[in-house]
């Protein structure tokens, strides 16, 4: 088994020049990303940081936000009410599919696809649109551990061109899943997607999920630990859209991707991993991100269903405690 800092450096070099995939262009502002950006960040539950590449480069979180807003909705509404509105079934369809609402319940299939995420945004509590946004930003602050911002041009760009999401919202209204304040709900959804993060932030957020909801660096509780199982279950079955089954088979850890090129993975009780590279495949998942996760999983036996006897994880941190370091820029 390799040494973790060396191995992520090796992965960075191995995939740095891989240039298949393309920038997401249906949100015009996202085409301003640099296709060369590439970062790998890992944060353990003890708060150790391993990273390589452009881990401080800013980008918008996009669909990775769905995981955290789902956690917030669970706290705001409780599990039973949420399940009445949004299912937990993988779709096998693209993330922005114009929904197959469940025939009986009229629910969107799950909270990781756009239809379910818009329904989730509609369940966030607050006395006004501003109050809801502030509550959401506070939630993200707890996960990230520092102040957070919305990228206004990305928000405006998606708001101006998000006709498909508007169509989904209208269908959800038709079936009584959201109320008729569609514009407010969509704004909140577009704002959550426009949250500014870097790859290190994403790894801290993933590590918080790995650490029963407690940010391993600030030690602040970001989400009630009783909801971690709900969040990780939907990530595991639905987080990579119509690649979720293959991902579960090949990589085997709960994960979530976004069209700006981030992927987070959670190794329960151990660590959070984030990869950022904006070139995405036709399913909306980062091309280099998938490769890095596959290699990390193979090298360190991270697949959840690997035999415990075979696991000789890098996450035995005693081995690395003196080596926690930042590599690259």
Q: Which residues bind ligand GLN (CB under 6 A)?
A: 62-63, 95-96, 114, 158, 165, 193, 258-259, 284
The one catalytic residue among 66, 85, 132, 270: 66
Residue 317, C-beta contacts closer than 8 angstroms, at least 6 positions apart: 44, 46, 48
**Rounded-to-integer distance, Cα 152 and Cα 164, Å:** 20
Active site residue 12: no
CB closer to ligand GLN, 193 vs 255: 193
CB closer to ligand GLN, 157 vs 215: 157
CA angle 66, 67, 71 (to 5 degrees): 110
CB of 47 to ligand GLN, least distance (A): 28
Evaluate the CA torsion angle 327, 62, 90, 124 in order and state its sign.
positive
> What single string gives the DSSP state of each residue in 287-321?
HHHHHHHHHHHHHHT--TTS-TTT---TT-GGGTT
Active site residue 63: yes
The one catalytic residue among 189, 227, 234, 297: 189
CB of 280 to ligand GLN, least distance (A): 9
CB of 36 to ligand GLN, least distance (A): 20
329, with CB counted inside 10 A (0-12, 13-18, 19+), is: exposed
CB of 284 to ligand GLN, least distance (A): 5
Active site residue 66: yes
Active site residue 227: no
Query: Which of the 8 DSSP states describes residue 212?
Result: T
CB closer to ligand GLN, 48 vs 201: 201
**Rounded-to-integer distance, Cα 263 and Cα 265, Å:** 7
Query: Which residue in the shown chain puts its C-beta closest to ligand GLN?
Result: 63
Active site residue 249: no
Task: For the beta carbon of residue 103, count every other beta carbon within 10 angstroms.
Answer: 6
Residue 182, C-beta contacts closer than 8 angstroms, at least 6 positions apart: 166, 169, 170, 173
CB closer to ligand GLN, 62 vs 91: 62
CB closer to ligand GLN, 66 vs 107: 66
SS3 196: strand
**Rounded-to-integer distance, Cα 252 and Cα 319, Å:** 24
CB closer to ligand GLN, 42 vs 238: 238
CB of 156 to ligand GLN, least distance (A): 13
The one catalytic residue among 41, 63, 65, 257: 63
CB of 63 to ligand GLN, least distance (A): 3
Please give the positions annotated as active site.
63, 66, 189, 241, 259
């Amino acid at each position: 088994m390799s040494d973790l800092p060396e191995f992520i450096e090796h992965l960075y070099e191995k995939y740095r020049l891989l240039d298949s995939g393309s920038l997401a262009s249906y949100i015009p502002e996202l085409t301003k990303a640099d296709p060369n950006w590439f970062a790998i960040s890992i944060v353990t539950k003890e708060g150790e940081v391993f990273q390589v590449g452009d881990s401080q480069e800013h980008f918008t979180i996009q669909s990775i936000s769905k995981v955290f807003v789902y956690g917030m909705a669970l706290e705001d509404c409780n599990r039973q009410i949420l399940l009445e509105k949004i299912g937990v079934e993988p779709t096998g369809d693209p993330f922005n599919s114009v929904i197959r609402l469940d025939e009986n319940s009229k629910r969107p299939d799950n909270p990781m696809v756009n239809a379910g995420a818009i329904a989730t945004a509609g369940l966030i509590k607050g006395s006004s649109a501003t109050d809801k946004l502030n509550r959401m930003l506070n939630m993200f602050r707890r996960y990230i551990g520092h102040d957070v911002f919305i990228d206004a041009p990305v928000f405006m760009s998606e708001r101006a061109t998000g006709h498909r999401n508007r169509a989904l919202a209208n269908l959800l209204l038709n079936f009584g899943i959201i109320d008729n304040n569609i514009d407010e709900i969509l704004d909140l959804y577009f704002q959550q997607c426009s949250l500014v993060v870097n790859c290190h932030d994403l790894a801290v957020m993933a590590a918080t999920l790995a650490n029963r909801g407690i940010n391993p660096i600030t030690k602040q509780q970001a989400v009630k630990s009783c909801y971690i199982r709900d969040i990780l279950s939907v990530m595991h079955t639905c987080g990579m859209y119509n690649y979720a089954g293959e991902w579960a088979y090949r990589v085997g850890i709960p994960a979530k991707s976004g069209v700006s090129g981030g992927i987070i993975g959670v190794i329960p009780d151990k660590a959070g991993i984030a990869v950022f590279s904006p070139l995405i495949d036709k399913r909306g998942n980062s091309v280099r991100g998938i490769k890095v996760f596959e290699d990390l999983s193979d090298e360190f036996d991270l697949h959840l269903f690997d035999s415990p006897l075979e696991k000789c994880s890098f996450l035995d941190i005693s081995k690395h405690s003196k080596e926690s370091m930042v590599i690259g820029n």
